Structure 1
Amino acid sequence: MSDHNYSVTEIVGSSKDSIEDAIRGAIGRASRTVRGLDWFEVTEIRGHIEDGDIGHFQVAMKIGFRLEEPA
């Protein structure tokens, strides 16, 4: 098994429905532009209040992706 080297980037996802949907949406979107996604870590959870109710959930997260070996 070879060693893996990673780069880490931060992204923010949001959803009107749930924290889980915010996470899934952010990872789904990142997976369309970043190859080798391997792990994530939620670093912050926050939201927006509208008229006394939750308007949307927001999650800040770090995602790790494997660096590709040179050709």
Structure 2
Amino acid sequence: MAVLKVIEVLSSSSVSWEDATRKAVTQAAKSLKNIRSVYVQDQSASVKDNEITEFRVNLKLTFEIE
């Protein structure tokens, strides 16, 4: 039987929410093994001079504990 753990991760990107999500998973994979899924809990964006300058995501990342 597998034991899974869920952690909360925050990430940002100047490109898109999808890119912020990919960056979070890529960075987390450097220290976590067996990542199973990612759930985007919240999305937000920073705005300056009527333009979006940063896309932000708050994710729940699930991985298997060995």
Asked whether the two chains share a fold, i.e. TM above 0.5, the reply is yes
Structure 2 portions without partners, runs of 5+: none
Secondary structure, aligned partner of 1:29: helix
Q: Which runs of 4+ in 1 moved over 4 A?
A: none
TM-score, length of structure 1 as denominator length:
0.89
Residue identity over aligned pairs, in percent, reads: 29
Secondary structure, aligned partner of 1:17: coil
Larger Rg: 1
1:30 is matched with 28
2:2 is matched with 4
CA distance in 2, matches of 1:64, 1:28: 14
Instruction: Name the structure with the higher strand share.
Output: 2
How many residues align structurally? 66
Structure 1 residue 13 corresponds to structure 2 residue 11? yes
